[in-house]
């Protein structure tokens, strides 16, 4: 369960130079969710994706380092979104017109691994949000947003009280939902500024939107919240070897703390 949670929460980054293959992959029971993408060059070649051919210094200083295309995100969505894995060769022809001929380019991709089966719940400001799973299953939080999103919420329609429609989100919503709900059969929380703070201008109506999944693993012991989780070396390790429940939950606590800190 700790390994599954850490894979779901992790933000993945991958890159490939022109002429190389980019390969994205997600663990079992999850699929790729593209967050952002960039194709072009914004740093000199001696820092990233050096040219395969020798260049003089005079040539290097003429290199275009303000080069990008606007189609990279859509291309990544077309190739990889909602798949378990994807792989393709990176070159300028994939993205349409070459924005800087003669300059070697690269692809940067940021993505997450979304559970195949997930649930979404919304609570309007000051209402209570309740999450629950069936017997022998526990909650795994994927994302949480408290505030006001540009698209709004059908469940909580925006009432125009003379306030501008501005997107605003709490920076701690995911961390708080994980602390309250992960590894439990059920939990509840009020969608209030008392819990999440107020990320918006006064008077703007907010809502809480949580995406989660139920994992069919035995219930684990709750994380000991009497001591703050540390940021030890175990949190940065990519491997999650089978360990005892106590050690496993300590590792999970470190992972969640590290993720919240990075966020």
Q: In the chain, which residue ranges form alpha helices assigned H by DSSP?
A: 2-9, 57-61, 72-80, 173-181, 193-196, 245-262
Q: Is residue 78 part of a domain?
A: yes
User: Phi and psi dihedrals of 8, rounded to 5?
Assistant: -70, -40
Shared-domain flag, residues 111 and 124: no
Shared-domain flag, residues 109 and 124: no
Helices and strands (H, E) in the chain, number of each type: 6, 12
Shared-domain flag, residues 84 and 151: no
pLDDT band at 22 (very low <50, low <70, confident <90, very high): very high
**End residue of a domain, out of 61, 82, 116:** 116
Query: Count of domains in the chain?
Result: 2
Q: Is residue 231 part of a domain?
A: no
Question: Residue 25 is part of which domain span?
Answer: 1-116
**End residue of a domain, out of 83, 116, 149:** 116
Distance CA 234, CA 188 (A): 30
Shared-domain flag, residues 11 and 104: yes
pLDDT in tens, 38-77: 999 988 877 888 876 555 444 554 677 888 898 899 999 9
pLDDT of residue 108: 93
pLDDT in tens, 211-228: 888 877 543 333 333 333
pLDDT in tens, 148-188: 876 666 778 766 555 556 788 888 898 899 899 988 899 99
pLDDT band at 9 (very low <50, low <70, confident <90, very high): low
Nearest to 139 by CA among 77, 206, 184, 92: 184
Distance CA 173, CA 208 (A): 9
pLDDT of residue 10: 67
Q: What does DSSP assign to residue 42?
A: S
Shared-domain flag, residues 102 and 136: no
């Amino acid at each position: 369960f700790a390994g599954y949670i850490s894979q779901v929460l992790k933000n993945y980054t991958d890159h490939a130079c022109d002429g190389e293959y980019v390969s994205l992959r997600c663990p079992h029971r999850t699929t790729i969710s593209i967050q952002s993408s960039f194709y072009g060059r914004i740093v000199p070649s001696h820092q990233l994706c050096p040219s395969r051919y020798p260049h003089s210094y005079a040539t290097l200083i003429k290199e275009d380092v303000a080069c990008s295309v606007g189609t990279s995100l859509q291309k990544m969505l077309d190739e990889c979104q909602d798949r378990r894995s994807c792989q393709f060769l990176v070159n300028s022809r994939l993205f349409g017109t070459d924005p800087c001929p003669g300059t070697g380019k690269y692809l940067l991709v940021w993505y997450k691994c979304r559970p195949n089966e997930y649930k979404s719940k919304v609570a309007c400001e000051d209402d209570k949000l309740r999450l629950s799973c069936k017997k022998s299953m526990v909650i795994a939080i994927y994302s949480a947003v408290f505030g006001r999103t540009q698209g709004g919420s059908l469940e909580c329609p925006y009432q125009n009280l003379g306030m501008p429609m501005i997107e605003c989100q709490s920076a701690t919503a995911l961390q708080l939902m994980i602390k309250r709900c992960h590894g439990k059969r059920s939990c509840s929380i009020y969608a209030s500024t008392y819990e999440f703070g107020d990320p918006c201008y006064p008077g703007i109506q907010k809502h809480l939107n949580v995406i989660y999944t139920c994992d069919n693993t035995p219930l684990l012991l709750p994380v000991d919240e009497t001591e703050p989780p540390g940021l030890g070396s175990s949190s940065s390790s990519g491997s999650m070897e089978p360990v005892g429940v106590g050690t496993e939950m300590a590792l999970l606590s470190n992972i969640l703390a590290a993720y919240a800190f990075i966020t």
